[in-house]
Structure 1
Amino acid sequence: MMSQNLLPIQQAVEMHLQHHFNFDFADVAKAFLLKYNLENKFCFTTIASTRQLDEDRFEIVRRMENVMSSRPVYERIIFNRKMMAVQGFTFETENQNVYTECYCYKQDDKDSQKTIYNMFLYKNPGLKKMLRFKLHNWGVQTLENIIKKDHDLIAKLKDSKDKMIEKKDKIIKEGQVIIKEGQVIIKERINDLKTFKSSTFSSAKEESTPSTMKDSKSL
């Protein structure tokens, strides 16, 4: 298990990369986890271990293999909900406490709807410096694409839900109209039936009255 006392391999920073995301921290952190599902055929990630450090911090140890290196490297990734940050430290062996790289995704202190990403390399990349710059840009674009697709999916689900609710409300309203019309028709039929019974009873009464009077006179 990695030590809690993490130190850079040297104090001097050999390379510093930065990017400002126009998305809030929650979106960036979610995309950060989802990106492992989109790894290309040149990289392979395995989660070596996970643990809860305290009530605000959760740690993932990632084992990464790629075609650029004959040996795997390890990343200790710490999610800190209190600080609204994701920190990553890269080690050459799993149990090492001296890191060669570190990065941090953190909510912008000036704008909560933005996230700042910083990447520090403490080991000179040499001829791979340009490649590291391209990988940085590729990583940023990957996260932004994931976030945009996630937003599009949420918007489509919301639109679909709204249409279903609208259709449901329409069916309910049409049903209410049909019920109301049915009630009116039933009421009219009842009134017609009452009128028919009343007129029939009156006619029968009128027809029976003269006969009764005639019979009375004959008596």
Structure 2
Amino acid sequence: MNDIPYQTALKNAEDKAFGQFNTGLENDDYFGKNLDRYQKKWIPMNDLIGDADFKKKDIRIIGDKKAGGFTQASIDQPEKTRKFLEDHPEAVLLQIIRNPIDAAVSYMRSHRITPFQKACSEIVIKTHVAYVFGKKATNPFLCIYYEKLLNSPEIELKKILTWLGVGIEDDWLRKISTKINKATPKKHLEEYRRLAKDIIRQYEANEEFSVYRILK
């Protein structure tokens, strides 16, 4: 969202996505040196690049994770972000929401952000901004949950692909589903639950996090 032309920025993002997919994250200039901070279960995905079902032809979605650039742009430069979407009515918004306690603990490890309250606040604020932005946008918006995606990948992926109007191949769904690890419930400090509950209420983010027991 700076002075780089839209098409140039999109082409740069596309090139980066292709590069990371083709080389594998373990060989990426950044991720390869920092894998200890991220989920090592990403690595086995790379053996799919030789499969005909996974040969990339077109990139339909460029993902933007919890504190990603698009969300930050919508905070820093909301008018430019809205104009981008108005100029690109074909752009779609897909948000994946994760349990904020799990996300914050992961964020503390991967981004070296402490204490928990600071990490959780960033997660809740940016999730809320993205959720409100998506609900108000005229572009198509779909919200799904991280845990459902891991535990029922074929159902959730079918939902996404149907929403995108993309053809669904059962072999593709089966192969990708075998690579996805199930979400396992994690035990966290009771203090984390209390803090997360207070933060969610502070930023009026109850609606998007209502599926979690944190608020009960």
- TM score, norm. by length of structure 2: 0.24
Higher share in strand: 1
The structure with the greater share of residues assigned to helix is 2
